[in-house]
Structure 1
């Protein structure tokens, strides 16, 4: 371990309070230096978790650090059952129950597919007693058996106090599989596929932005002509429902619903029932939008403006009875979709930033919001209908991929978080932390750190809600897909929280119950028969990769990051249980990276903290090292940039990794970066 920085501002009580709440009071940075976190950061992060604290001696007029610590330690004693129980399949766990001394308690577990509950019995161990708010309390631990099936179960406790009063309590019991099965025969034969930012993949029929029809065509071509087994796409989460549309797929308004920007209007079945005049208008819109397919930049606003008009025309066509039934079933089966559609309608009237709406509309559970929904049923139905269409065309793209011979098909990408003033920030406001944002501490590629401006999910709120918000996010990503890539999967263990107004360097890590988060992922992926790839790059805590591998979650090996003391790691030493690639969406295409485009961009944006000439010399040395290695191996056939790109892919292809992804941008010789982390 490297040296330790000094910080005398954090009292022992504040450090202990932070530790109990899962907030790091120190951390090891990318250079191995132990960094102490300022007291101001700890207090701001604790406040975002609902733990307000002043000074240790209460000299700031608030709750003292010791008082706050005492209150947090009493939280479990003030409830009968824990908020959520998590068990791995085949493993027995204990269920702590807190009741007044002398009370009688009956605890039962009801399996998700059962009608009759079974009773939990106490373990043979002494009870623990404690005085809580003047009441003598006891903790008794019950045995949750090791033979429960995987699933989402419920635990219910009925307590009869000594005075005869009765009350009940319940919690979620998640039993997850020991590991996600490796699907599609990957153990015997690795899968090679494409990685694409699908909005870039435009055809003559596109409306200026690559769409789900283009995705199906890309998958079919890649499979039939090259034997590809998957297409990994960028996050397709929904953005703003009206222009202007945000450019980054990694800053969506929601992670639970998809973007209708990727729809192909002519493929909506109701297109065939349009009147002559309406069809002519839709076709005119399509031609106008298609004229931008050869323009070098992506104009999401013009594309969505045209599509939105066309889709409103299509919406006016009555649904056939079978289609109407399908639509109704879809709406009934999607948790939270009515709230999202209501937000979308409200955004049309008041703008997408809910924090600027009239006060009475900022709470999704308010009477004012319910009244708005009653007054605007058709507009809300329109946004429900859009989600149904996206689901249909997304499913069709996956069917096309599988029919063409792909073993996996489409792999979707799950972004880290959402826009701070968007749909999920409004409808999931109880689950998200306020006054902080998610980012990353400084590292070699982002020397000033990163602030992604996204509000993080609160660990305590997730547990209180039985991890349903995260479950719904995962289910949405897995729907009609062969798998999912989890961007920054390290965030299921810990996330870098940055207080509002602070620099990314002034944040700290907040730890999550990774057994629960990974358990949700393992259960839902196993049920979907999907592969899970975790983007585990950056500063990785000890044991994280081993935990992911044990659960059957593939890691990520990007060639440029696979170096040891500035020398390329041989591809034979790459991990087997991972997705290997030469580059990633956060870097320029390989030709651009070799031409130091990444250094140019970071210098232009002021992201370099050292001497730019020295940075450039280091990058040139890196390229030279990889070039020398592929030349020594006989993989480099010439001296052109294209020859080097091919050689580097041959190099990575020699790895044992189960998945090998090739960027579409590399296939076509592009060199421009499309995503720069930490920018907007």
Structure 2
């Protein structure tokens, strides 16, 4: 009982439910290990008693939690209960000050510009007696009771909900690396993203383009190609740079120009190997060429204006950028896993690291420059989307975690739980559970910092985003922690302060004028979707998963879909629509030995499911007689999505040309070329952006969207008030 009580106080579950009516106990060894990662000793009964007594005593003595959340408009009880007569002070993030005495009736407002009196609330009306109107932002709340007790907390004040698109919009979903053009260096880049957004917005009336995470990868031999296990989520990867678009590129002269031209020829060969010879996308080969090119381009001195812009970027990104660039420079010398570095360099604040930073200052500056150039091209892609009239624009993707040996894990060690990995518990789809190899954030460290690491992460990602998608959005509520060396089945859930996580998310999205999308597929805890919806966070609804699970089990009627979602036919982890309709995804899994049942049984069940959807499409008049060919059926699928009330409808770009291959096949590593396939047509021939734009098949599919696209109102990028 003592261990369970101690675990509950720290948000650590001692049981979990893999399915309705089933409860599974968590091993005590797991609970002890997770508590240790949170700084709590529970190794012995005596340690448990001591830790429990300390935790309960601290809870009784604490006047305020580390972080307090207030949603606007504030109604009902105050955001935090305070003793009568307590003196309350709020230091606003803009330097302003509010002061009042709790439970004292409101008085006349002070003159403009003056601090609120200690005996009365600040000016303005409030639905909470005795509390002033609070501006949105991250403030400091300080309370002193009549008895002399004091407490201080971070006060996060957020709008009630994040804004949603002002109108129904459709757009493309694409893995950027897979979208090559005649100018790519062997993989899609930010120049291609800008071109796609400009074309799709102007020619097709598309409202957004959603891409995979563009986070900085961990360098290696080979580099992990997955965009969902990055070195840093705080900074993008310069492998996405369009070299020719760097302003200094035009001023490379002499022998450096000769060398640069030679690299361009090699880039053309690399591009041709993918587009013409069927080679896989080789991120490492692309980066080797781009790195050599950038080292030549960055020899060109910055002009006064460019230098001022660069210095402003350095000042704005501050220590986070310095840490990131330092890690990159150290990784070039000592390898990409900081755990194996010399002991003194494992601490980003050590004297040894400071000396190494000085010794490597040229390389630190080089990596800062790369971050700046990538930020500039992200801004250019966002501007291209806005200029094309896209109401939403570029939708960026936030991975659920980072690589344990990467830059973020090194720079923010106090925030991550040592010895733990994020994963998923056993369920109906995976009886062994999952271990994703990503260190989780410590909820206690986040709260104590006022969620500063989370706020900084979101602010950086939202700099040039019209919307932000959160992978595994359920992680705002709880994550499955697996101790190192344990099986995924031996993990447990650790709970986060979802109210605070959501408040920070809504606040930062509001400041950026961005939409928020949560990937809420799979096992979702009761109440999570409702909480996300209440805060304006759109969900993700995939055609094949939307069924009347509580009733007939048949495909869910389009009018019964939720409005607050991005509706799509597939994702990067699922078969393309062509593969689903033809059953080729079953054949692929059979060839790779991934089926858990006999092939005939899998095919029979899959065919029955597809037939059921065909019947549904026919019944709704979306698949008229004579259109039972593959292309007609794919168009019918998207007509169905347009029948739903979904705020956003996503078109998987490979669907537009009949691509059969998934970008990622979960459960595989070297058996399948995950994250390395270019967009291809129905025959498997790689298709460039230029060919996509001229594809009759793509235009036939996009005609589905023209009759139902509402006319644009207001200015591009406008949000509802």
TM-score range normalised by the length of the shorter chain: 0.7 to 0.9
How much has 1:230 moved relative to structure 2?
0.3
Q: Which of 562, 572, 587 is the equivalent residue of 1:585?
A: 572
Partner of 1:206: 184
Runs of 5+ unmatched residues, structure 1? 1-11, 99-103, 125-141
Aligned 8 A contact 1:578 1:657 in 2 = yes
Partner of 1:178: 160
Q: Which of 643, 657, 661 is the equivalent residue of 1:668?
A: 657
Mapped partners of 1:670, 1:34: distance in 2 = 42
Mapped partners of 2:667, 2:463: distance in 1 = 29
1:121 equivalenced with 2:101 (yes/no): yes
Mapped partners of 2:65, 2:207: distance in 1 = 43
Partner of 1:192: 170
Partner of 1:436: 420
Mapped partners of 2:94, 2:600: distance in 1 = 64
Q: What TM-score results when the alignment is normalised by the length of structure 2?
A: 0.83
Mapped partners of 1:288, 1:246: distance in 2 = 23
Q: How does 1:160-309 map to 2 (within 5 A)?
A: 170-183=152-165, 185-186=166-167, 190-241=168-219, 244-293=222-271, 294=275, 295-309=278-292
Partner of 2:8: 19
Aligned 8 A contact 1:447 1:607 in 2 = no
Mapped partners of 2:447, 2:600: distance in 1 = 49
Moved more, 19-28 or 444-453: 444-453
Q: Secondary structure at the match of 1:567?
A: coil
Post-superposition Cα deviations, 1:16-60, rounded to whole Å, max 9, x if no partner, equal 22222111222221455222222222222222222221243x4xx
Mapped partners of 1:96, 1:74: distance in 2 = 19
Mapped partners of 1:654, 1:599: distance in 2 = 29
Q: Secondary structure at the match of 2:459?
A: helix
1:372 equivalenced with 2:356 (yes/no): yes
Partner of 1:315: 298
Partner of 1:491: 475
Q: What TM-score results when the alignment is normalised by the length of structure 1?
A: 0.88
Change (3 A) 1:619 1:509: farther
How much has 1:445 moved relative to structure 2?
4.0
Size of the aligned set, in residue pairs, is: 632
Post-superposition Cα deviations, 1:336-382, rounded to whole Å, max 9, x if no partner, equal 11001100100000111000001111111111101111111111000
Change (3 A) 1:15 1:597: farther
Mapped partners of 1:478, 1:431: distance in 2 = 21
Provide the alpha-carbon RMSD of the alignment.
Answer: 2.6
Q: Which of 136, 139, 144 is the equivalent residue of 1:153?
A: 139
1:112 equivalenced with 2:93 (yes/no): yes
Moved more, 273-282 or 391-400: 273-282
Post-superposition Cα deviations, 1:100-142, rounded to whole Å, max 9, x if no partner, equal xxxx996521111134x33353459xxxxxxxxxxxxxxxxx9
Partner of 2:461: 477
How much has 1:417 moved relative to structure 2?
0.4
Q: Secondary structure at the match of 2:358?
A: helix
Mapped partners of 2:129, 2:51: distance in 1 = 32
Mapped partners of 1:364, 1:144: distance in 2 = 45
1:568 equivalenced with 2:555 (yes/no): yes
Mapped partners of 1:108, 1:143: distance in 2 = 16
How much has 1:546 moved relative to structure 2?
1.3
Q: Secondary structure at the match of 2:69?
A: strand
Q: How does 1:538-557 map to 2 (within 5 A)?
A: 538-557=522-541
Q: How does 1:305-384 map to 2 (within 5 A)?
A: 305-335=288-318, 336-384=320-368
Post-superposition Cα deviations, 1:581-640, rounded to whole Å, max 9, x if no partner, equal 011111121122334455456667776666665444333322222122123333234343
Change (3 A) 1:447 1:669: farther
1:638 equivalenced with 2:627 (yes/no): yes
Change (3 A) 1:612 1:369: farther
Mapped partners of 2:300, 2:507: distance in 1 = 40
Change (3 A) 1:217 1:319: same
Q: Secondary structure at the match of 2:235?
A: coil
Q: Secondary structure at the match of 1:255?
A: strand
Aligned 8 A contact 1:159 1:168 in 2 = yes
Moved more, 648-657 or 253-262: 648-657
Moved more, 636-645 or 401-410: 636-645
Change (3 A) 1:301 1:71: same
Partner of 1:41: 30
Moved more, 33-42 or 262-271: 33-42
Post-superposition Cα deviations, 1:154-210, rounded to whole Å, max 9, x if no partner, equal 124689999xxxx98743111111111224x22xxx100000000000001100010
Higher relative contact order (CA 8 A, sep 6+): 2
Mapped partners of 2:666, 2:504: distance in 1 = 27
Runs of 5+ unmatched residues, structure 2? 105-127, 670-721
Partner of 1:71: 54
Mapped partners of 2:480, 2:290: distance in 1 = 38
Aligned 8 A contact 1:30 1:539 in 2 = no
Partner of 1:626: 613
Change (3 A) 1:399 1:379: same
Aligned 8 A contact 2:82 2:102 in 1 = no
Change (3 A) 1:31 1:261: farther
Post-superposition Cα deviations, 1:530-561, rounded to whole Å, max 9, x if no partner, equal 11111111111121111111111111111111
How much has 1:143 moved relative to structure 2?
9.4
Aligned 8 A contact 1:243 1:305 in 2 = no
Aligned 8 A contact 2:243 2:294 in 1 = yes
Aligned 8 A contact 1:243 1:304 in 2 = no
Post-superposition Cα deviations, 1:204-244, rounded to whole Å, max 9, x if no partner, equal 11000100000011111112221101000000011125653
Aligned 8 A contact 2:13 2:493 in 1 = yes
Post-superposition Cα deviations, 1:48-107, rounded to whole Å, max 9, x if no partner, equal 222221243x4xxxx1x3332222222335666532221112325355789xxxxx9965
How much has 1:397 moved relative to structure 2?
0.7
How much has 1:480 moved relative to structure 2?
1.0
Mapped partners of 1:504, 1:608: distance in 2 = 21
Aligned 8 A contact 1:18 1:46 in 2 = yes
